[in-house]
Chains A and B, each alone.
Chain A
Amino acid sequence: MTAITSLLVANHKRGFGSLWYMVEVRWLISSHGNTVQLFMMQFMLLFSRQGKLRLQKWYLPLSDKEKKKITRELVQTILARKPKMCSFLEWRDLKIVYKRYASLYFCCAIENQDNELITLEIIHRYVELLDKYFGSVCELDIIFNFEKAYFILDEFLLGGEAQETSKKNVLKAIEQADLLQEDAKDAETPRSVLEEIGLT
């Protein structure tokens, strides 16, 4: 129940019995009963200090136009914040949790009832995973291996929720996939010289 519903129940216990009040209580509880409280991340953005987007993961369906608008506005808002400010802010009707690691800002949008501190640690865990995988990860790694960053993220968070919080297990899953890749590589068809040096 949200805070307001629990307040209502508490007040009801205290015996406020006017007609208006009873009707409002019933209405509120029934209307709240129909809405599912979403506890989830809505999106995660990684961007540089120049505002270049390095990764964007959207956990709810939005049009491309909306995504671009949100990105633009949020990036501006975050970049305007000073270093000593707290890691949370309210933006539109969401909570934003962000942290800067070297030249990259990691920014998550969560629902109002979500836990901010644990989201900060979700960000940290993701950075740890990237770090372990790439070996002392830096922004360039994420630029050149963007698809890997998405794969790692999917092993850790799915649908905006943490699915595996053991670092070992996540990395194991990714390494297994890499091994499959290695096997497949041996069986590959020969490539042209141009392809080898990357000109096609």
Chain B
Amino acid sequence: MPAVSKGDGMRGLAVFISDIRNCKSKEAEIKRINKELANIRSKFKGDKALDGYSKKKYVCKLLFIFLLGHDIDFGHMEAVNLLSSNKYTEKQIGYLFISVLVNSNSELIRLINNAIKNDLSSRNPTFMCLALHCIANVGSREMAEAFASEIPRILVAGDTMDSVKQSAALCLLRLYKTSPDLVLMGEWTSRVVHLLNDQHMGVVTAAISLITCLSQKNPDEFKTCVSLAVSRLSRIVSSASTDLQDYTYYFVPAPWLSCKLLRLLQCYPPPEDGAVKGRLVECLETILNKAQEPPKSKKVQHSNAKNAILFEAISLIIHYDSEPNLLVRACNQLGQFLQHRETNLRYLALESMCTLASSEFSHEAVKTHIETVINALKTERDVSVRQRAADLLYAMCDRSNSKQIVAEMLSYLETADYSIREEMVLKVAILAEKYAVDYSWYVDTILNLIRIAGDYVSEEVWYRVIQIVINRDDVQGYAAKTVFEALQAPACHENMVKVGGYILGEFGNLIAGDPRSNPLVQFNLLHSKFHLCSVPTRALLLSAYIKFINLFPETKATIQEVLRCDSQIRNSDVELQQRAVEYLKLSSIASTDVLATVLEEMPPFPERESSILAKLKKKKGPGAVSVAELEDGKRESGELNGGGERGQDAAAMAASNASTPSPSADLLGIRSSVPVSTTPASAGSLLVDVFSEAGPAAPSGAVNDDGFLRDLEQPTETSDPLLVEGSGDSE
């Protein structure tokens, strides 16, 4: 039923809104608004006092204009005046205005707080609720100071009406979130916990949010809530659908309350009391059982509510991580959802399984679904679902399936959305390194990464492959050969040139015997890319050239010729010029012994934590990288050293890292270091730290900007009812 306002009408407002809607252009709209603003201003300043109805109407108009997106700089006083009216609707509009247009004028704040105080002590439940709603909506520090001690009293008082209690609980929660120091629970704690047993389900629903938040900060004080929560949950779960009357939602008993109870339980470890624990396990099993039963209704609301409880229960099971039976059942249930026809359920199942994958009890069970997940990665139309599938593959990867998973992720990367490529590259790099039994496979994978998504291969990734190649004798020849072949591709990414330049510079001699990759061919190959590269790459190539002079004296003349030319020794870039001049001189005056010593092969890098993991963590936030991986990553890096004699002692390294844990997201506490420079190190001196801490990756935020907001055309059909009979099916 369109347009007619219910209740008191405020006709003037309706006409005004109509006028705005009928404006044919933005300019016309602004003109109409300004006219109205002028009108209201004059009415407010006018000589005769406005009656309540008019004030209410004008304040409401101002609110409407503000919500359209225009700035309003007056009307606050009138809104505050409305608060002291005895008429409910006037109060209501006044409160709405000041909740939406929060003003920090201290005089206004004082008046507002006064009005709220009056309403709170009025003993009129409707007025009290209005006041509590306002505090919950604004939640400012001043309000907290004024009311933080009053509200708990209202909450637990015996004569408070249920609806007021509900509002009081959530109001207190809001104040606690913004000003925790001002909300002192102390004497109220046990009574608040006791609200879990209240007869009124609404009160329990509201109170439990408050308790959940408080118990996170003060777990010990609130721990009695656990057994109360378990018994409440158990009563709900085992109730018939008619028991809870209006709290049953599409044949599901109290879904919101159930979810909240399950969330509260996730704030605590599994209950120690055997009876309580038994009851809870029974509850969880019932929930899992119900998922297998035929649905009581075809409506999507029914299945959503039922599954909401199921997913929350699975979160709890994962959180406890101590009941293998439940974990495996949860995994199987999620496995069924992986192939459900509803996209939402597939999305959530993939997401939930990610966490399951890291539990030792269910890791194997998760792995059995690998084919389904790979299929999802290839065939899902929705990019967010594909991304969840990629995340799950990453989480379930271990030695048994690493080759398969890395191969799948690489092929996915070829067509992946640009916004997720960098993260994918990091993940593939981490997996390839962690599960590499055969390091030539690792080298192939990284080079493939560069080939497929070169732009998104960050420095950490290609530094890492070089570090590994340097440290492992067995893969050096393979690396040189592979890089040589890769460089022959007609269009190869600059990162490939960087890696190729460095590796050939160090290990080109290993393939120099073959006439197809003799020294001169190698040099020409590198030099053919020289002019296409950026300055840092060229600097690296120059270093490679001087290393060639040392490795292959027969190339000396050719290379010196290149170094000597004007574009090098008179290059406008200082670094390039310096290198060219110095290398040229070095090659002319140093004897072969000195040259050999200066340009000796790079010694193995010392063992350290992977900076790639740190970077991934920074990108995704704290939850992204499981510590099992970090731990493994650390152990793995120890295996990198061929002999390990040069690596620093792991414990000493750890101690020095641990002494500076930064409070920011950097889990590994890697100290920032000097950026890479490939100046030759003289024998015995400390290595320049190759790993620099990466700056924050450029945020992707790819928003489809296809001009979607069409111009101010006339509003199309907006009188379609939102709810259509039988529209319970998902779109």
A interface vs B, CB < 8 Å?
Answer: 1-4, 6-8, 10-11, 14, 16, 18-21, 23-25, 27-28, 31, 36-40, 48-53, 56, 61, 64, 68, 73, 75-77, 79-80, 83-90, 92-93, 100-104, 112, 115-118, 120-122, 124-125, 127-128, 130-131, 133-141, 143-148, 150-151, 154, 158-159, 161-169, 173, 176-178, 180-182, 184-185, 188-189, 191, 195-200
Contacts and interface: CB of A to CB of B under 8 A. Distances in A.
A115 B308 contact: yes
A86 B205 contact: no
Contact of B708 (A8, A61, A76, A85): A76
B703 A80 contact: yes
A92 B246 CA distance: 37
Nearest to B634: A20
B17 A184 contact: no
Interface stretch (B85-93, B181-189, B526-534): B85-93
Contacts of B139: 61, 159
A7 B627 contact: yes
B148 interface: no
A7 B514 CA distance: 51
A102 B721 contact: yes
A167 B246 contact: yes
B486 interface: no
A177 B173 contact: no
B133 A158 contact: yes
B376 interface: no
Contacts of B360: 10, 14
A86 B202 contact: no
Contact of B163 (A53, A140, A173): A173
Given A23-B658, A84-B381, A140-B3, A184 B89 contact: yes
Nearest to B301: A124
Interface string B299-311: 0010011011001
B560 to A, nearest CB: 49
Nearest to A150: B96
Nearest to A165: B256
Interface in B170-228: 170-171, 173-174, 177-178, 201-202, 205-206, 209, 212-213, 216-217
Contacts, number: 339
B307 A21 contact: no
A163 B731 contact: no
A138 B126 contact: no
Interface string B708-723: 1110010111111111
A17 B254 CA distance: 45
Contact of A147 (B63, B205, B307): B63
B369 interface: no
A187 B311 CA distance: 53
Contact of B216 (A37, A125, A178): A37
A127 B12 CA distance: 27
A185 B16 CA distance: 22
B62 to A, nearest CB: 12
B1 A141 contact: yes
Interface residues of B, number: 131
B716 A103 contact: yes
Interface in B680-731: 701, 703-706, 708-710, 713, 715-724, 731
Given A11-B627, A118-B259, A23 B6 contact: no
B278 interface: no
A166 B15 contact: no
Nearest to A9: B321
Interface string B45-72: 0000001011000001001100101010
B673 interface: no
Interface in B69-107: 69, 71, 87-89, 92-93, 96, 102
B723 A136 contact: yes
A137 B723 contact: yes
A90 B344 contact: no
Contacts of A92: 701
B166 interface: yes
Given A2-B622, A50-B710, A164-B166, A140 B719 contact: yes
Interface stretch (B230-238, B489-497, B649-657): B649-657
Interface of B: 1-3, 5-8, 11-17, 21, 39, 43, 51, 53-54, 60, 63-64, 67, 69, 71, 87-89, 92-93, 96, 102, 126, 129, 133, 136-137, 139, 163, 166-167, 169-171, 173-174, 177-178, 201-202, 205-206, 209, 212-213, 216-217, 246-247, 249, 254-257, 259, 263, 266-267, 301, 304-305, 307-308, 311-312, 318-319, 321, 343-344, 346-348, 355, 358-360, 381-382, 384-385, 621-623, 626-628, 630-631, 634, 650-651, 653-655, 657-658, 661, 663, 667, 701, 703-706, 708-710, 713, 715-724, 731
Contacts of B247: 165-166
B651 A19 contact: yes
A56 B64 CA distance: 12
B332 to A, nearest CB: 19
A169 B246 contact: yes
Instruction: Name, among B247, B254, B257, B627, the residue most crowded by chain A CB atoms within 10 Å (CB to CB).
Output: B627
Contact of A199 (B12, B17, B311, B359): B12
B67 A27 contact: no
Interface of B is mostly: helix
Contacts of A50: 709-710, 713, 715-716
A79 B256 CA distance: 29
A138 B51 contact: no
A80 B721 contact: no
Contacts of B39: 200
A145 B6 CA distance: 8
Contact of A158 (B170, B266, B710, B716): B170
Contacts of A80: 703-704, 706, 708
Given A140-B2, A148-B6, A117 B201 contact: no
A117 B631 contact: no
A138 B720 contact: yes
A163 B166 contact: yes
B703 A73 contact: yes
A55 to B, nearest CB: 8
B88 A137 contact: no
B206 A102 contact: no
A1 B170 contact: no
19 contacts: A6-B318, A6-B319, A11-B627, A24-B658, A48-B718, A50-B709, A61-B139, A68-B69, A76-B704, A85-B343, A102-B724, A127-B723, A134-B6, A138-B1, A139-B718, A139-B722, A147-B60, A164-B205, A180-B88
Contacts of B654: 18-21, 23
A36 to B, nearest CB: 5
B205 to A, nearest CB: 6
A33 B14 CA distance: 52
A101 B727 CA distance: 10
Contacts of A88: 344, 347-348, 384
A166 B256 CA distance: 10
Nearest to A86: B343
A53 B163 CA distance: 30
A50 B87 CA distance: 37
Given A28-B667, A77-B704, 5 more contacts: A39-B209, A133-B6, A144-B5, A169-B202, A185-B8
A200 B425 CA distance: 63
B659 to A, nearest CB: 8
A116 B344 CA distance: 9
Contacts of B129: 173
A97 B667 CA distance: 30
A185 B621 CA distance: 55
B344 A117 contact: yes
Given A86-B382, A102-B722, A136-B721, A163 B202 contact: yes
Given A158-B167, A180-B126, A7 B628 contact: yes
A19 B661 CA distance: 13
Nearest to A141: B2
A118 B315 CA distance: 14
